[in-house]
Structure 1
């Protein structure tokens, strides 16, 4: 016969099933902790403490990110950036969110071998911040480079194990941390989709080896000292020191850049340009007409084209030229008269470029000018009624890129290729009910391509027409007014010095 106390305990268990479940899970958590932490394993004794220490303050992941960033693989470099950004968000969510909401004491670690013990943190135990950071970084990298992600996933799991083996966390803390880190990484992929390098099937790149040229013989560089708020003037000594045999032609405010570029292209064996994207596009046209390879020395503010041909700074561009490696990339022609290297836009983008240029003339600094221009566009911009390939559309944002940019999004990332032979077109249609809410919902849910507001197409030729003139901004320049804008890709028409990043 059961006692009254037994019936009372059973009744209490039925009344508080969640409390009973919580007690059972905590008991299981402690048993698993004891099994790992007290395990007499020489391998755990040798590896767990150093691994746990290496992951303190994310030192391990920062070091790995630096290695990935210095590699020649573009997807690994993107992964390093995404991994660190995801790690930072996960760390913030854990330390300023979960640890404050769910306080839990650290485990008692009398049974942990002395060879594994180290000074333990005093913050709440749930969830494990080390594990969250590890999972966030590994999955963040893996979203851009699958192979690296698989390798880092194993390391992330080992870091989680080390937190148990050294007595810092219960297994439940580690599992929760891994789940939080993974969740942040997946959410980040919804907001900023990873680059999909397999969206188009592209022939192998055209690469020429012209042989080494250590001193710059035969090179004529057209240099714009005003580019990048004076960056052009600051790189002259670096060019002359590294390429003493090269000729450098300085531009000034009154220079006829087309005449100077045509003259330089006619007498040069190799044509060079030091300036921003707008200057590079102008000189590239003359390099194509003369059939000369182009060396791009970045001296602008953003230098998008130089970065995408693996010449992010002057030193890298000099090394590429000296190595004599030339690859062919696409360019875009607007109405068969204006050459584009990067992007073009109508609607809000030209208005932004014009406003930023006007504010910069006030000498208030580029960041301030950019912010004021953004605010002005948000306040004053109006949609444009156009016809895109004959289809009527009212667009608030229109982006056109030379080659495919990143993943589906109205915030394009970087290009992984510049020789795929297509235009990348994305635009937002105005006039839909609750357009902003619907757009953000589609974006966050990862179903942007199914949205009736966001449109995307890839084609070698795109034509935009309108009854009213519209401005076409391109490569950071505000551009001219048109009633018809015909864009076409010139497939691998430009030869540039750069590393074989596409191989």
Structure 2
């Protein structure tokens, strides 16, 4: 078989050598040099990362796939399968590289990285994947054109890269394009120009220096706008505004991130008002789960008067009044990560600050002893999600249903030897769902009593109260949220 492959390779290279010289030869050499050390894919990812959403996720996934592919190719495949490079004397001098590579020819690392990046990007954004694919194919062919690789090296490298790109799903599952399923609401008011809409706009959400207020004001000119005072409680300001407006408010809107959305959702649920979400935050988890990705979609849902019923969660701290959360709440390591991220974010940016905060918390964390519904446990930290999140054996990322009436409870045990190390290894190997250190449960009500000093509570990415007792409750269909119909006219 190897002899047959070798004969085919030599025949194809000899045919390629017969191509007449053309103006494309310098372009192929320039393209193959540009792809050296994945410079081309790093530059492309930098451009994609400028835009939020699938483009940015594709950039991150693509770079991760390239890094993994380079490690597999250079550290494993090339030393294991040494192969001599093609004889460059067959090619004209204008096609040869001035400094040809001297490592093993099999497989092509350039083709592997190109296929890995393209596959990973296409998983997040098929449109961007189609745009990148011709460039990746050009890089792969350029390696044969300049005599750096045999055709089978390129084919094998491309298959290897595509496999690694697809394998990133094991560590980072791809979020479904469809929103979470929820029961449609029977009666929600229709609003065209903002008449009857109270709209909370947080200028501090999302990208620094970008104020969404002008665009929102143009979209709904008759809406009652509230630009909050950062020195005062946001919920109290919203309650005061609604109390002043009286019965003229028929719906509540919010333009901001998940923390702002959580405050507005609490007020809307307590007052029985439908909520429209305008995603202007950094991550917009709740808006994406609901199926509202742009201000135009929010406006269309208001005009159509279409909405769905959504569950919320509440938590009572030390017997105090219930506090609502739309996405997640956490005790232990999660609030610490949020607090450090907020402190470092102005200097480092949101993502670098979040990564450094996570590393520091993991290194310095102390286990928490507590009782969960009367059962004593020792853990590093606990996550509580409003609704069942997916995937179960990974970082909770999305909700397939918005009205399942449950709390998604997850924590990492601290009563096992080397529990943190075992947890990290299971995450890296993609076996977290089967790890003894990781516990996931579905509850309707959860009572937590700390057997140590009071701990902070984080709700929807913001650190709030400290306490020793926490009662979490799933509030079934507590809120109506506007959602536009899809292309087929269906709501859910």
TM over 0.5: yes
1:279 aligns with one of 248, 252, 260:
260
**1:97-246 matched pairs, under 5 angstroms:** 104-108=84-88, 110=90, 123-124=100-101, 126=105, 127-137=107-117, 140=120, 169-178=149-158, 180-182=160-162, 184-185=164-165, 188-190=168-170, 192-195=171-174, 206=184, 215-225=193-203, 227=205, 234-246=211-223
Deviation track 1:174-216 (CA, whole Å, cap 9, x = no partner) reads 24413542563466444x2425869xxx866537897986533
Aligned position for 1:32 = 8
Q: What secondary structure sits across from 2:397 in the alignment?
A: coil
Given that residues 277 and 292 in structure 2 are in contact (C-alpha distance below 8 angstroms), is that contact kept between their aligned partners in structure 1? Answer: yes
2:269 aligns with one of 288, 294, 301:
288
Aligned position for 1:496 = 482
How far did residue 132 of structure 1 move? 0.8
Decide whether aligned partners of structure 1 residues 83 and 210 sit closer, same or farther in structure 2, where only a CA change above 3 A counts.
Answer: farther
Aligned position for 2:410 = 426
How far did residue 428 of structure 1 move? 0.5
For these two proteins, the number of residue pairs brought into alignment is 464
**1:67-106 matched pairs, under 5 angstroms:** 82-83=61-62, 85-87=64-66, 89-91=68-70, 94=73, 104-106=84-86
Aligned position for 1:11 = none
**1:377-392 matched pairs, under 5 angstroms:** 377-378=361-362, 380-392=364-376
Aligned position for 1:475 = 460
Decide whether aligned partners of structure 1 residues 254 and 183 sit closer, same or farther in structure 2, where only a CA change above 3 A counts.
Answer: closer
* Distance across 1 between alignment mates of 2:432 and 2:363: 25
Deviation track 1:351-398 (CA, whole Å, cap 9, x = no partner) reads 3334555x469x756658757755663454321112334432111021
Relative to the length of structure 2, the TM-score reads 0.71
Decide whether aligned partners of structure 1 residues 471 and 64 sit closer, same or farther in structure 2, where only a CA change above 3 A counts.
Answer: closer
Relative to the length of structure 1, the TM-score reads 0.70
* Distance across 2 between alignment mates of 1:164 and 1:245: 63
More divergent stretch after superposition (172-181 vs 414-423):
414-423
Decide whether aligned partners of structure 1 residues 29 and 265 sit closer, same or farther in structure 2, where only a CA change above 3 A counts.
Answer: farther
2:425 aligns with one of 441, 462, 466:
441
Decide whether aligned partners of structure 1 residues 207 and 169 sit closer, same or farther in structure 2, where only a CA change above 3 A counts.
Answer: farther
Q: What secondary structure sits across from 2:366 in the alignment?
A: coil
* Distance across 1 between alignment mates of 2:12 and 2:253: 63
Q: Structure 2 stretches of 5 or more lacking a match?
A: 17-24
Given that residues 300 and 484 in structure 2 are in contact (C-alpha distance below 8 angstroms), is that contact kept between their aligned partners in structure 1? Answer: no
Given that residues 298 and 306 in structure 1 are in contact (C-alpha distance below 8 angstroms), is that contact kept between their aligned partners in structure 2? Answer: yes
Given that residues 315 and 470 in structure 2 are in contact (C-alpha distance below 8 angstroms), is that contact kept between their aligned partners in structure 1? Answer: no
Decide whether aligned partners of structure 1 residues 121 and 225 sit closer, same or farther in structure 2, where only a CA change above 3 A counts.
Answer: same
Aligned position for 1:268 = 249
Aligned position for 2:472 = 486
Deviation track 1:58-80 (CA, whole Å, cap 9, x = no partner) reads 9899999999x9999x8x99667
Decide whether aligned partners of structure 1 residues 119 and 71 sit closer, same or farther in structure 2, where only a CA change above 3 A counts.
Answer: farther
Decide whether aligned partners of structure 1 residues 196 and 308 sit closer, same or farther in structure 2, where only a CA change above 3 A counts.
Answer: closer
Q: What secondary structure sits across from 2:382 in the alignment?
A: strand
* Distance across 2 between alignment mates of 1:420 and 1:298: 24
* Distance across 1 between alignment mates of 2:246 and 2:203: 19
How far did residue 319 of structure 1 move? 4.4
How far did residue 246 of structure 1 move? 2.1
* Distance across 2 between alignment mates of 1:483 and 1:289: 23
RMSD: 5.4
Given that residues 188 and 274 in structure 2 are in contact (C-alpha distance below 8 angstroms), is that contact kept between their aligned partners in structure 1? Answer: no
Larger Rg: 1
Decide whether aligned partners of structure 1 residues 498 and 399 sit closer, same or farther in structure 2, where only a CA change above 3 A counts.
Answer: farther
Q: What secondary structure sits across from 1:274 in the alignment?
A: strand
Q: What secondary structure sits across from 2:384 in the alignment?
A: strand
* Distance across 2 between alignment mates of 1:156 and 1:304: 32
